[in-house]
Structure 1
Amino acid sequence: MGGLIAATPDQTSAILGAMRDVATASGRFPLSAATVRSLRSAERHVLGGKGNVDPALLVPVKPETLAAALADAALAEMTLRCLSVSALVDGELSRPRIEAVLEYAERLGVRQDYVTELSKSVDGDLQWALTDMSRQNVLSLWNEPWDECLDINDIFMPYRSPHGDPSLAARYHALGESAEGTLGRAFSEIYRKNGYAYPGEERAVNVRFATPHDATHVLSGYDTSPRGEILVSTFTAGMHPVRPMEGHILPVLYSWHLNIKINDLAGAAKGQLDPEAFWEAWARGARTTVDLFAPSWDFWSVVHEPVAEIRRQYGIPAPLAAGSR
């Protein structure tokens, strides 16, 4: 099976060398165990290798050399996404690592919003970056601008008194009666096990987000732990590649790996990134043939179908990495 992006052997070596260079900030930091695992997984799942690359032997690549090796704009963009993640693998918001990413971004000609978020994060304007992540998340999910006069928590938790919707909640409660092994039953089990409020209830998350998000948990196989939330959002970034970095990957890494609280819904924790499973989750999402966040996807049309059959129909690859679920 090929990688997430197509690259020649020379380009692969250059990309991995640059990822190592960012993670170590050109030798200012040691090569960590987390970065070693990340590089091996990226080589396998993103670049189509065997996962046995020796990161200690990777040759650092200067930004101008990388730019010369990557003539294709799409390859350059995907590469910068990889470099950006490499800057965060060790669970720190590190100025030297981020500055290295920014130098590569300049040479590669990549000027996406997530690059600005990274820059602001280490340049005294972290709150701007966090606000922009919320803005970009709303744009990615619903293609709608966020009116910043509104509290983001009111957007994602709209049923607080007096705005409950008992009939909507009843419809979701009824999923607990679905047959064993179906999407509806598995979806309901997530709510029962975690004590979540169902859409329509006062503490519930907006149904427009909760339904595709929790269905993605079921179909991807990633649980609702902080580690699993990183993986399901990364899977989503591959499946729904609309503002994937700024709308999904950076927000979830900041929340659950850097312990930076973005909003009340996201929560926060430290050091929850599984670098081996992360790149596989991205590749699995990209190979999935049905986007659960597309407006055309209808949860209720498949709610009584077996999970295994839906996974087959949607082309969701089985995970390969040990402990990836």
Structure 2
Amino acid sequence: MLKLDPVLVDSVTGGLLCGIDVDGGPTTEQLLVLKAIVSHLWERPDLEVGSVPHISARELANILTDENARTMFHELHLALETCRHPQSLAQVAAVQEYADALEVDGDDLEIFRDLMSSGVEAAAQDYKRFLTIDMLDRSEPSLSETKVDALHPETQLAEKLGAFSEYGPGTLGRAYLSFYERFGLSLPGIDLSLNNHFFVAHDMTHTIAGLSTTPAAEIALSAFQFAMNNNRINRAAFLASLVAHEAGFALPPHLSSGETGLLLDPPAAQLLGQELRRGSQCRKDFSLVDHFALAPLLLSDVRSEFGVGAPVDPLDGHHWW
């Protein structure tokens, strides 16, 4: 969970502001997203983020001694980095400076360094290698021993998922099937794919969190996961989504196109902040549990067990609640 001592909010905000104050200052989108983070995740809507005193990388390293707080800062700085269009050497260097001072390392540093030094193609290849590992790490745990045949669909998996229809109304299993019907998606296993096991876990997470499949909701879902559990796998999920849906220079294989500057839309930025807050309020991470074991249970009971609260606005077009 993302927890920050209230006395540190001004300092962390000052570090984030300083870390995007390059090339003439933060962009409108960066300030919009920073404001959404501060207002919702840390519940400080009163804070005028544009006028908070700057905190340098060295100063912040002396203030933030907790590893969780340091990785949280880095991931939020990364999110703001992806919100600069076009990307710049100065912005990439600023993220690297803070990461070095906080002793944080990650795939994002290499991807964005290569984006600026070697171009989009090199960065896209970095992302492809990263995504191969990321999607494997985020696959359904109960399917870890099931071999994937690259030449044939997984009909047994599709049948196993289809059997969720035998569970009663209101169960997670029924809701999961309704998710696919609602958004016009094929059940994992029906089509030939190496990522079926990933989509079982990913779409179960969609269903439990109650988020739809809009691009803004995909970013928000990865932010929710990161806030729910600040571990390596969820940080990678956040990076994967930001590159595909905000930076837009590389895509996972199941997407035909990406977005750039999505979070410049105020409702999308607000959604990001709100879902960071909602994820941070969860008691446990449900993204990589045995979802087949949970499928017979009432969805309301599953949400209660993990502490999943209702969205701020379930009817905003980005939720499925």
Q: TM-score, normalised by structure 1?
A: 0.80
Where do 1:133-282 residues align within 5 Å? 133-138=130-135, 140-141=137-138, 162-176=151-165, 178-203=167-192, 206-244=195-233, 247-267=236-256, 268-273=258-263, 274-282=268-276
User: Which residue of the other structure, out of 307, 311, 315, is the alignment partner of 1:319?
Assistant: 311
In 1, distance between residues paired with 2:302 and 2:6?
Answer: 34
Partner amino acid, structure 1, of 2:128: T
Query: Does residue 58 of the first structure (1) align with residue 52 of the second (2)?
Result: yes
Deviations 1:253-287 (A, max 9, x none): 11111222333124422333322222332343344
> Using a 3 Å threshold, how does the CA distance of structure 1 residues 100 and 299 change in structure 2: closer, same or farther?
same
1:36 aligns with 2:31: yes
Describe the SS at the equivalent of 1:257: helix
Unpaired segments of 5 or more residues in structure 2?
142-147
Give the corresponding residue for 1:7: 5
> CA 1:105/1:167 → structure 2, altered by over 3 Å: closer, same or farther?
closer
Alignment partners' CA distance in 1, 2:228 and 2:275: 10
Counterpart AA for 1:28: G
2:21 pairs with one of 19, 24, 48: 24
Structure 1 runs (4+) deviating above 6 angstroms are none
Q: Is the 8 A contact 1:199 1:205 kept in 2?
A: no
Aligned residue for 1:198, secondary structure, equals coil
Number of equivalenced pairs: 304
One-letter amino acid of the counterpart of residue 156, structure 2: S
Query: What letter corresponds to residue 42 of structure 1 in structure 2?
Result: I
Say if 1:133 and 1:246, in contact at 8 Å, map to a contact too: no
Establish whether residue 69 from structure 1 lines up as the match of residue 63 from structure 2: yes
The separation in 2 between residues aligned to 1:192 and 1:72, in whole angstroms, is 44
TM-score (norm 2): 0.81
CA RMSD of aligned residues (A): 3.1
Q: Does 1:82 align with 2:76?
A: yes
Unaligned residue ranges in structure 1 (runs of 5+): 145-157
The answer for the alignment partner of 1:300 in structure 2 is 292
| Preserved CA contact (<8 Å) 1:91 1:257 | no
Rounded to whole Å, the distance in 2 between the matches of 1:206 and 1:292 is: 19
For the Cα contact (< 8 Å) 2:83–2:247, is it kept in 1? no
Judge conservation of contact 1:43–1:51 (CA < 8 Å) in 2: yes
**Within 2, Cα distance between the matches of 1:316 and 1:41?**
20
1:153 match: none
1:152 is matched with which residue? none
State how far apart, in whole Å, the 1-side matches of 2:62 and 2:25 are: 26
SS of 2:261's partner is coil
Q: Normalized per residue, which structure has more helix? A: 2
Of structures 1 and 2, the one scoring higher in RCO (CA 8 A, sep 6+) is: 2
**CA deviation vs aligned residue, 1:21-42 (integer Å, no higher than 9, x gap):** 23332x614541x333322332
Instruction: Give yes or no for contact 1:222–1:228 (8 Å, CA) kept in 2.
Output: yes
Question: SS of the counterpart of 1:262?
Answer: coil
1:220 to partner: Cα distance: 0.8
Instruction: Note closer, same or farther for the CA distance 1:321–1:18 as it changes in structure 2 (3 Å cut).
Output: farther
Cα distance in 2 for partners of 1:280, 1:49 equals 10
Write the letter of the residue equivalent to 2:14: G
Distance 1:57 1:66 in 2: 17
Alignment of 1:51-130 (within 5 A): 51-90=45-84, 92-124=86-118, 125-130=122-127
Report the Cα distance in structure 2 between the residues aligned to 1:176 and 1:257, rounded to whole angstroms. 36
- Relative to structure 1, the CA distance from residue 71 to residue 192 in structure 2 (aligned partners, 3 Å threshold; closer, same or farther) is closer
Deviation of residue 299 (structure 1)? Answer: 2.1
Cα distance in 2 for partners of 1:143, 1:307 equals: 18
